[in-house]
A and B are shown apart, each in its own frame.
Chain A
Amino acid sequence: MRQQFSVTGPACRPQRSFRPARRGRRRSWWPAGVLATAGVVGVAACAGGGGSSPAAAGDSGSPATVTAPPQLEACVAGSRVPCYGQDPLHKVYDLGALYARGITGAGTTVAVVDDGANPWARRDLAIFDRFFRLPPAQLRVLPWGQGAPGRVDPAAAREDIGDLELAHFIAPRARLLYVQVRPGQGLAPVAEAVAALGAVAARQHISVASLSWGIPETAIARGKLAALRAGLASAARHHVSVIAATGDSGPTWPGLGHRTVAWPASDPLVTAVGGVVVHASASGRRLRPDTVAGGLNATGAGLSALFPAPPTRTVSPAWWVITTG
């Protein structure tokens, strides 16, 4: 039941065509990227598209044989979606100004909780750092769970290293804790992963946890929710900010015929993150406002069936921003 949301290469394309669900009692759906019950923030979701053209890396894995990532122009020409490197994205989010003040994540720890069990994370991070001129990642790998390390699933392993690299890319001096969940207690993988988060939050000093996966709310059996949420409650109790992806299939779910949102993203104990497409030049100049991803994939969105909407008093209507220039 567990699904990882981050996809690389051609898998960025939708796995199924959008089919509108029958109209329910709820007439209004929140705009894409807005979830009913959690703080929602949009960050570049599809800064790269399908049709990746992986640069050749020798089988030896020696960093010396690795070539630099392709240029933005080549990527746009190939996939018609920009895939940015370091300079444009740092500029788009004005991170240089923070780094200049020494705000780099130093002293904090970001936990990436994943089940890809990627044994090559350290090596690939080093290559990533070299080409993006980042300080070496301070990575700690923490295997979690009873399961024996099995055969590595390439897609899951790719997901894990991507999560680590992206967190490091934004907060280059933050320590990284790679919690390698190895299911083995007979629980569903998502239950194991959330339990691992709760246990690690209680025992390790972590500041932030990134969850790039989820299950459809409708897959959660009645009566199981409280037990499932215990790990999130533990994280909140230990002052860990839990960030979860909302998924890439809009209000639906690949393979499901009904609308549903992703849990744990829908949980009020979690800050859900949707995504937008950033339109910028190779030098990081914004060409036009961000758009909600709608072509290759659509950020997860919808009304939670498990949790109430946040109190309306806390949300005031948006201002209309007038461009005067």
Chain B
Amino acid sequence: MWVYAQIPDDLQATGWFSVCGTSLAAPMFAGIAALADQQAGHSLGLLNPLLYRLHGAGDGALSQVIADAFGDLPQSQWLIPDPAARREILPGYFRILVEHALATGTVHTTADRSAAALWIPISADGPTQPDDYAARLAEVTGPWASRFTAFDATLERNHPASFAHHHLAILAVHPTRQGQGTGSALLRAYHQVLDQGLNLPAYLEAAHWRTRQLYRRHGYLPSGLFYLPDGGPPFFPMARPAQHRPAPADLPGPDPGTGAVRHRATAAPGT
């Protein structure tokens, strides 16, 4: 950045100087803070708590994208029949899943945060729930909590046991961005990790026969279907065998971690 300084006796001459360094950044960011103050209508004061909260708000943005993508699925309607309540409750529910995936697995998203893939490693002992899940679920879903509990139990009962794998708990693309290859891009990115680093299979529950076609193209094999209770809609479980491919040297990409993990049996509708 150019600054202008004309100072007598300055051995570095005088006029335009190119500047760099973090105290170029400090006044620039002070300017940005002033813009934020004007937008807010008041002085924001110590910014750090706000910045940390903003960071967390990113989780909220992804939760909303998932809720927007899944809101009208039959499984979501089964969970909360009332459309208004569904719109209100689902973002909070998906936030639990996003935070869980961030804590124990991997979250992939796009630069514009219009899609999310939540991957959770599952050990051979099968899925487990975090301690506070029931309380948080009750808090978020209120009168619909029993539906969510039944939903979780159904998916857990049908979850493959006895072999370690990675569970695609959520793959959601915002409705305005669907059909543009985003879901495939997210799948490819994580499959690369599974195939080249971990050599592990993957598992998901497709919410619709149409999405099964997408997953088939990415190597998932259908394994029947199961229904939600009380005459609810079906899920189509699919598994993708481990496909070991030697990694090119110096492979870039995320490392989702292979250690023992705690996780929860919940899956979201509509992967």
The interface bits of chain A over 260-275 (1 if a CB of B lies within 8 angstroms of the residue's CB, else 0) are 0000000011010111
Contacts of A127 in B (CB 8 A): 4, 6
Whether A52 pairs with B17 at a CB distance below 8 angstroms is yes
| A131–B181 alpha-carbon span in the complex (Å) | 46
B58 at the binding interface (Cβ < 8 Å): yes
- State which of B31, B51, B254 has its C-beta within 8 Å of the C-beta of A169: B31
Whether B28 pairs with A44 at a CB distance below 8 angstroms is yes
B156 at the binding interface (Cβ < 8 Å): no
Contacts of B182 in A (CB 8 A): 324
CB B37 to nearest CB in A, in angstroms, measures 5
Which of A9, A50, A109, A293: most chain B CB closer than 10 A?
A9
Number of interface residues of B (CB under 8 A): 72
Contacts of B5 in A (CB 8 A): 8, 118, 124, 157-158, 161-162
Q: Closest B residue to A265 by CB, please name it.
A: B22
Contacts of B103 in A (CB 8 A): 316-317
CB B104 to nearest CB in A, in angstroms, measures 10
A145 at the binding interface (Cβ < 8 Å): no
Contacts of B185 in A (CB 8 A): 322-324
Whether B45 pairs with A236 at a CB distance below 8 angstroms is yes
Stretch at the interface among A18-26, A188-196, A203-211: A203-211
Whether B18 pairs with A49 at a CB distance below 8 angstroms is yes
B84 at the binding interface (Cβ < 8 Å): no
Contacts of B15 in A (CB 8 A): 54-57, 66-67
Contacts of B8 in A (CB 8 A): 152
Whether A322 pairs with B29 at a CB distance below 8 angstroms is no
CB B40 to nearest CB in A, in angstroms, measures 10
Contacts of B111 in A (CB 8 A): 321, 323-324
Contacts of A162 in B (CB 8 A): 3, 5, 17, 19, 23-24, 27
CB A138 to nearest CB in B, in angstroms, measures 12
Whether B4 pairs with A161 at a CB distance below 8 angstroms is yes
CB B22 to nearest CB in A, in angstroms, measures 4
A243 at the binding interface (Cβ < 8 Å): yes
A15-49 CB contacts (< 8 Å) to partner B: 38-39, 41-49
B12 at the binding interface (Cβ < 8 Å): yes
A98 at the binding interface (Cβ < 8 Å): yes
| A209–B33 alpha-carbon span in the complex (Å) | 9
Which of B13, B16, B38: most chain A CB closer than 10 A?
B16
Which of A55, A69, A107, A243: most chain B CB closer than 10 A?
A243
Whether A166 pairs with B27 at a CB distance below 8 angstroms is yes
Q: Closest B residue to A156 by CB, please name it.
A: B7
| A200–B156 alpha-carbon span in the complex (Å) | 61
Contacts of B1 in A (CB 8 A): 44, 47-48, 83-85, 89, 166, 169
Whether B7 pairs with A157 at a CB distance below 8 angstroms is yes
Known contacts A9-B18, A46-B21, A103-B35; decide if A39 and B28 are in contact (CB<8 Å). Answer: no
A215 at the binding interface (Cβ < 8 Å): no
B135 at the binding interface (Cβ < 8 Å): no
| A162–B5 alpha-carbon span in the complex (Å) | 7
Whether A52 pairs with B16 at a CB distance below 8 angstroms is yes
B249 at the binding interface (Cβ < 8 Å): no
Whether A110 pairs with B34 at a CB distance below 8 angstroms is yes
Whether A208 pairs with B37 at a CB distance below 8 angstroms is yes
Q: Closest A residue to B32 by CB, please name it.
A: A170
Whether B109 pairs with A69 at a CB distance below 8 angstroms is no
Whether B24 pairs with A275 at a CB distance below 8 angstroms is yes
Whether A108 pairs with B24 at a CB distance below 8 angstroms is no
B72 at the binding interface (Cβ < 8 Å): no
B223 at the binding interface (Cβ < 8 Å): no
Known contacts A268-B48, A314-B52; decide if A43 and B32 are in contact (CB<8 Å). Answer: yes
A300 at the binding interface (Cβ < 8 Å): yes
Q: Closest B residue to A33 by CB, please name it.
A: B22
Whether A275 pairs with B56 at a CB distance below 8 angstroms is no
Contacts of A105 in B (CB 8 A): 31, 34-35, 37-38
B14 at the binding interface (Cβ < 8 Å): yes
Whether B25 pairs with A48 at a CB distance below 8 angstroms is no
Q: Closest B residue to A83 by CB, please name it.
A: B18
Contacts of B146 in A (CB 8 A): none
CB A313 to nearest CB in B, in angstroms, measures 9
Whether A207 pairs with B43 at a CB distance below 8 angstroms is yes
Known contacts A41-B51, A104-B38, A208-B34; decide if A320 and B107 are in contact (CB<8 Å). Answer: yes
Between A and B, 26 residue pairs with Cβ closer than 8 Å are A6-B19, A9-B17, A41-B51, A46-B21, A48-B17, A48-B24, A49-B18, A54-B16, A69-B4, A83-B19, A98-B39, A103-B38, A105-B34, A110-B30, A124-B6, A152-B9, A157-B7, A163-B26, A171-B35, A210-B26, A212-B22, A241-B44, A243-B33, A271-B33, A322-B185, A324-B181
Known: A207-B43, A243-B26. 10 other contacts (CB 8 A): A6-B26, A11-B12, A54-B12, A152-B7, A163-B26, A166-B1, A212-B26, A319-B58, A320-B106, A321-B110
State the B residues within 8 Å of A (CB). Answer: 1-35, 37-39, 42-53, 55-56, 58-59, 62, 99, 102-103, 106-111, 115, 180-182, 185-186, 189, 254
* 4 tightest A-B CB contacts, nearest first: A170-B31, A212-B23, A48-B18, A6-B23
